[in-house]
Amino acid sequence: MADAVALNRWYGTEVGLGAVVDTMAQLRRSVARTASRTWVMTLVAIAVSDDEAYQATQVLRALGAHHPARLLVVQPQPEAVVGAAGIDASVTIYGTEVDGHPLTFDEVSLWVKGEAARHLDSIVEPFTLSDLPVVVWYPASLPAVSEPLLAKASSVLVDTREAHDVAGLIALAGRRAVVDLSWMRLRPWREMVAALFDPPEFRPYARQITSASIAGKGGPRRLLAGWLGSRLGLSKERMELHDARHARVVLRSGSTASFEVAREEGERLVRASAVIDGEIRHHELLPLPDDSLVWSLSEALTHLGRDRVWQQALAAGVAADAWL
Amino acid sequence: MTLTESTEANPLAAGLDQGRRASPGVLVVFGASGDLTARKLMPAVASLARRRLLPSTFAVVGVARSRMSDDDFRAKLIDAVPDGGPAWAELVKGFRYVAGDYGGADTMQRLKAVLEEVDADRRTAGNRLFYLATVPSVFEPVADALGAAGLNCPARPDAYVRLVIEKPFGRDLASARQLDDALHRNFEEGQIYRIDHYLGKETVQNVLALRFANAIFEPIWDRRYVDHVQITVAEALGVEHRGGFYETAGALRDIVQNHVMQVLSLTLMEPPAMIDAQGIRDEKVKALRAVKIMSIEQVATDVVRAQYEAGWSEGMAVPGYREEEGVAPDSRTETYVAMKLEVDNWRWAGVPIFVRTGKRLPKRVTEVALQFQRVPHLPFAAHESRDLHPNALVLRIQPDEGISLRFGAKVPGQAFEVRDVLMDFSYGAAFLEEPPDAYERLLLDAMIGDPTLFIRSDEVLQSWCIVDPILSAWASKDTPLARYPSGTWGPKQADQLLSREGRRWRTP
C-alpha cells in the first residue's frame, strides 16, 4: 500500500457532533471519485494527552493495512473550559492506492471538554458504523470500571505493561472481552516456552516443574510469572523474578532437567533449549517476531474474544503480589 | 535416562490456539534438487518455521538423482531462501539428503536408514510426509518402491505416513485409473494428498465463505435466478520454455481437467453439512457427477479448441504457438478451449455453464461470473434503460481478488434513466494482510492431516469422465482447430458458442 496522503481536512472549534458528522459526509463527497474502504469495525482510541493522541493516530493509520476500520481518536479534557459546544474536532480524509485501486479512509479526532468528557458513550455513538464491532483502545491507561463508554464497546484493548493496579481490570474482564497488548507481545514467548513441552517425551516434565526463574521488564515479567504459576501450579515461593532488559525464562524440574528460552544478546533471535541429565536434548534458534505497537495491536484485533488463560494469569500475578 | 512419553495435554499450550501447528515429522521430498523444491517448497517450509507453525522436531530429507552431500543440499536450501537468516540456517542443519534412482530398492533402503537416524536425532516420531515433486512418470515407481521397502506404513501405531502428489493425475481416464491403482496398491486413500495449488488460494476458499456464510446469495444461486455461468481462466503468457511439455498436455488437460473442474465444483456444489474434508469433497463429487457427459456430436457443437497465432500481447510482438521453442511446426495441440457444459440436477438444470481457458489472452485473470436473468418486465422507457444489463455477480479469483455485483441505478437528473453500476469488493483492499502462499497452506494441511483442500480419488476420476469424451472426439485429425491472434479473447467460434443463444462472453 502506498503511503496515505490527506486529501481533505477540516478543523472546527466548539462545534456540535452533528456538524462533525455532516462535515465528514461533505468531505467524502468532495473526494467521491475514489472508493471508500470496506470497513470491519469502528476503532476508538481514548488518549489523555496530545502526545498520546498523536502516537495513537500514527499507529491506527499504520494498522489500516490489516484491520480496515473507521478511526476515532478521542481526547477527554474534563477540566477544560467549555465554550459554546464543548467539542473541538478535526476530520481528515486520507487517500491511498492498493494494487492500482484508489482508496480513501477517514479519521476523526475529537477533543471533548468539561462534563461531556464523562459521557464519551454519547460522543462516540454517532460515529460508529452500524452492525460492526466497536473496539475501544486505551493506549496508556486502564479504564475505570464505571466508564460509560465501555457499555458501547464490543471489546476493550488495554496495555498492562506499565500498569500497577489491575484489580479493576480483573473485574472488567469478568464482564466483557478485554485484550491486553502486553499479553499479545508475550504470545511468541508463550509459544516458545510451551513448544519445549510439545515432544511427548518432554511432556511429563511440565507437571514436575519445581522452580522457575523469569527475567525481563516489570509488567510483562510479572504477567509471565502469573501465567507459569497458574498453568504449572507454581507458588510464588518457587518463582524468582529478575529485572532485565531482555526476557529469559528458565524452568527446572529438580536437578535433572531444565528448560530455557532466552533472547540472544544484541540480536532478534531467541534460543530455546532443554537439558536433561546434563545432556542437551533439544536446541533451537528462532527469530523473534515483531513486537511493535502496530503488531501487538493488530494481533489484539485478531484475537478479540475473551481469554480465560490471560484472566487466570493476571489474577495469579496479583495473588502472588507480583503486581506490586 | 530413558525418557517416558506422555499423551497428556501440554498445560502451557492452553489458549494458544495451536490447532494448526504441525506435529513432529519428516518431510521427504522426491525431486529435491528440482525447481519446485527451491522455488516453492523450501520457501513455504521456511515461512512456516518463521511463523512458528513447525515444531523444532521437524526435518526435511531430500531425495534426487543428483549426487550431493548433506552439506551441499543444505547450502542449496539456504540459497533457496535468501531471507531465511540464522534461524533458517539453524533449522537446515538437521536436514539430510539421499541420492539415487527414485524407484530403486537401494535408494529406499538408504532412505529408510536415514529416516531412522533422523527420528533418533530430531525426535520426529516416525511421522513421514512423502512429497513427490517429480515428473509424473515416476509417481508409480516411487509409490511401488516405498511400498516394497515398507515405508508406506507407519513404523509405530501413533505415527502417520502420507503421500503428496502434484498434478497431472494421469493423461486421461484410463491412465488416471492406472495411477490410482498403483497408488492404492501401496497407500490407503486417506494417506494420499493430491495437490491442486488452486485450492490453496485464499480466494478460491473464499467462494465457500461467500456462498455458505451469507444468507443472501444462496437462495438466488440456482436455475430460478441464474441465466448462465461463465468461468474464465485466462493467461497472458504463452507456453514460454514449456513447449515440449505443453505439446503433450494442451489446455484441456493442463487447466480444464483440474483447475477449472475444481472451481466449477465449488461454484455448483450443494451446501455441505460441515466445512470439512468429507463434507466438502462429497458435495464436490456430487456436483461433478451432475455434469452431463458429452457425446461426440455435442463435442463438435459445444466445444471449441484453438491455437494462438503471432500477435501483440501486453505491448510486445509475440510468436505464434507453432513458432515456440519445443513445439512442432504442424502441432495440433490446443492452447485455448471454450465449452458449454450442462448440469443435470435440480439446482442447475437448464443453466448453461460456459468455460473458457487459454494462453496469450489479453490478460491473466480467473473469475466465475453468475449472470442473472433479466427482470420479467422493465417499467422504464426503452431509451431510458438501454444501458441496463442483467445483474451479474462476479467472483474474481486472480489477480484482483474480490467480488463485484452489477446492478441498475438511477442516473441523477430529471429523467428516469437507469444504467449499470458496479458494486465492488476488493479482497486485497479490505484485508491488506498478505495471505499465506498456496503451497504454505497446503503443506501445513498435509502435515496436520487435513485433506479438505486436496483432491480425492473420485474427484479426479469424475473430472476425467467429463474431459475424456472430449479428448476422444479430438483424437480424429479431422477435428477443427481454430486460430486466434495472440492478445485477443479467443477465436470467433468461441463467441458463436454463446451468440447462437443470444448471450456473449464477458470482458473480464
CB interface of B with A, residues 166-225, below 8 Å: none
When pLDDT is averaged across residues A242-269 and rounded to a whole number, the result is 89
CA B143 to chain CA centroid, Å, is 22
Per-residue exposure over A137-172, b if at least 16 CB sit within 10 Å of its own CB, e if not = bbbbebbeeebebbebbebbbbbbbebeebeebeeb
Q: Which three cell numbers stand for residue B352?
A: 448453461
Length of chain B: 508
Positive or negative torsion for Cα A200, A205, A206, A212: negative
Hey, which residues 256-315 in chain A have their CB within 8 Å of chain B?
A: 256, 267, 269, 272, 276-277, 281-282, 284-287, 303, 307-310
User: Which position has the grid cell 452492525?
Assistant: A131
Put simply, the answer to whether A187 touches B16 (Cβ < 8 Å) is yes
CB contact under 8 A, B426 and A192: no
What SS3 state is found at B263? Answer: helix
Sign of the Cα torsion B65, B69, B70, B76 reads: negative
Residues of B in contact with A64 (CB under 8 A): 432
Buried b (16+ CB within 10 A) or exposed e, B303-342: bbbbbbbbbebeeeebbbbbebeebeeebebbbbbbbbbb
For residue A183, list chain B residues with Cβ-Cβ distance below 8 A.
Answer: none
- The verdict on B428 touching A (C-beta cutoff 8 Å) is yes
- Residue given cell 499479553 in the structure block: A183
In B, minimum Cα distance to A295 occurs at: B433
Residues 6+ apart with CB under 8 A from A170: A311, A314, A315, A318
Check residue B1 and give its pLDDT: 47
Higher pLDDT pick, A187 / A95: A187
User: Three-state DSSP class for B402?
Assistant: strand
Contacts of residue A103, defined as CB under 8 A and 6 or more positions apart, other chains included, come to: A34, A35, A36, A37, A95, A96, A97, B429
ipTM: 0.82
> pLDDT, tens digit, for every residue of A209-255?
999 999 988 888 889 999 999 999 998 889 998 888 888 999 999 88
A322: pLDDT strictly greater than 60: no
Asked whether the beta carbons of residue B57 and residue A65 sit closer than 8 angstroms, the reply is no
Confidence of residue A321 (pLDDT cuts 50, 70, 90): low
Among A286, A299, A301, A309, most B C-beta atoms within 10 A, so best to mutate, is A286
- What residue segments make up the domains of chain B, in order of their start? 22-166, 200-436+457-499
- Whether chain B has a CB inside 8 Å of the CB on A198: the answer is yes
* Among the partner residues A198, A203, A287, nearest to B8 by beta-carbon distance: A203
| DSSP symbol at B430 | H
Contact B15 A310 (CB under 8 A): yes
Does the distance separating the beta carbons of B12 and A197 come in below 8 Å? yes
Instruction: Flag if B56 and A272 touch (Cβ within 8 Å).
Output: yes
- Record: fold of B200-436+457-499: Dihydrodipicolinate Reductase; domain 2 (3.30.360)
Task: State which fold the B22-166 domain adopts.
Answer: Rossmann fold (3.40.50)
Backbone angles phi, psi at A109, to 5 degrees: -115, 135
Which of A232, A282, A308 comes nearest B15 by C-beta?
A308
Nearest to B351 by CA among B434, B267, B427: B267
Interface of A with B in 233-252 (CB under 8 A): none
Cβ contact B125–A200 (<8 Å): yes
C-alpha gyration radius of chain A: 23
What backbone phi and psi angles, to 5 degrees, belong to B427? Answer: -60, -45
Interface test with A, best of B1, B2, B3 (most A CBs within 10 A): B3
Query: What distances in angstroms separate CA B335 from CA A299, B81, B320, one per listed residue?
Result: 46, 34, 11
What per-residue confidence (pLDDT) applies to B316? 80
Q: What is the pLDDT of residue A37?
A: 57
Catalytic site residue from B259, B377, B383, B389: B259
Nearest chain B Cα to A227, which residue?
A: B12
Answer with the residue of higher pLDDT: A61 or A239: A239
**What per-residue confidence (pLDDT) applies to B97?**
97
| B10/A206 Cβ within 8 A | yes
Which residue of chain B is at minimal alpha-carbon distance from A68? B430
Count of CB pairs separated by less than 8 Å, A with B: 121
Whether B13 sits inside 8 A of A284 (CB atoms) is no
pLDDT digit string (tens) for chain B, length 508 residues: 455 666 678 888 888 866 688 888 999 999 999 889 999 999 999 999 988 888 888 999 999 999 999 999 999 999 999 998 888 998 999 999 999 999 899 999 999 999 999 998 888 889 999 999 998 889 999 999 999 999 999 988 889 999 999 988 999 999 999 999 999 999 999 999 999 988 888 778 888 999 999 999 999 999 999 999 999 999 999 998 889 889 999 999 999 999 999 999 999 999 999 888 999 999 999 999 999 999 999 999 999 999 999 998 877 889 999 999 999 999 999 999 999 999 999 999 999 999 999 999 998 899 999 999 999 888 888 888 877 889 999 998 887 788 889 998 888 887 888 888 888 787 766 665 667 888 999 999 999 999 999 999 999 999 999 999 999 999 887 889 999 999 999 999 999 999 999 999 998 8
Three-class SS string for chain A?
Answer: CCCCEEEEEEEECCCCHHHHHHHHHHHHHHCCCCEECCCCEEEEEECCCHHHHHHHHHHHHHHCCCCCEEEEEEEEECCCCCCCCCEEEEEEEEEEEECCEEEEEEEEEEEEEHHHHHCHHHHHHHHCCCCCCEEEECCCCCCCCCCHHHHHCCEEEECCCCCCCCHHHHHHHCCCEEEEHHHHHHHHHHHHHHHCCCCCCCHHHHCCCCEEEEEECHHHHHHHHHHHHHHHCCCHHHEEEEECCCCEEEEEECCCEEEEEEECCCCCEEEEEEEECCEEEEEEEEECCCCCHHHHHHHHHHCCCCCHHHHHHHHHHHHCCCCC
- Whether B259 sits among the annotated catalytic residues: the reply is yes
Pairwise CB contact (< 8 Å): B55 & A198: yes
Q: Which amino acid is at B241?
A: H
- Residues from chain A that touch B426, judged by Cβ atoms under 8 A, are 38, 98-99, 101
CA distances from A117 to A46, A77, A125, A154, B178 (A): 11, 6, 14, 20, 75
Across all residues in chain A, what is the average pLDDT? 85
**B1, B87, B125 member nearest A276 (Cβ):** B1
Bin B28: left if φ > 0, else alpha if -120 < ψ < 50, else beta.
Answer: beta
Contacts of the segment B33-39: beta carbons below 8 A, 24+ positions apart:
B33/B62, B33/B64, B33/B65, B33/B66, B33/B68, B33/B76, B34/B64, B34/B133, B34/B134, B36/B133, B36/B166, B37/B62, B37/B80, B37/B133, B38/B76, B38/B77, B38/B79, B38/B80, B39/B80
Contact A206 B87 (CB under 8 A): no
Of B8, B12, B429, the CB nearest to A231: B12
Question: In this predicted structure, what is the pLDDT of residue A324?
Answer: 44
Question: What distance in Å separates the CA atoms of residue B431 and residue B455, rounded to the nearest whole number?
Answer: 28
A145/B contact by beta carbon, under 8 A: no
pLDDT of residue B282: 96
**Could you write out the three-class secondary structure of B286-321?**
HHHHHECCCCHHHHHHHEEEEEEECEEECCEEECCH
Say yes or no: B120 contacts chain A, CB-CB below 8 A: no
* Of residues B18, B50, B426, nearest to A101 (C-beta): B426
**CB B54 within 8 Å of CB B48:** yes
- Contact (CB<8Å) A40/B430: yes
User: What burial class does residue A261 get, using C-beta atoms within 10 Å of its C-beta: 0-12 exposed, 13-18 middle, 19+ buried?
Assistant: buried
Between chains, do A199 and B123 touch, taking CB under 8 Å as contact? yes
Q: Which of residues 72-131 of A touch B (CB under 8 A)?
A: 98-99, 101, 103
Please tell me which residue, B39 or A99, carries the higher pLDDT value. B39
Helix (H, G, I), strand (E, B) or coil at B232: strand
A269: region left, alpha or beta (phi > 0 left; psi from -120 to 50 alpha): beta
Q: Give the H/E segment covering residue B105.
A: helix B105-122
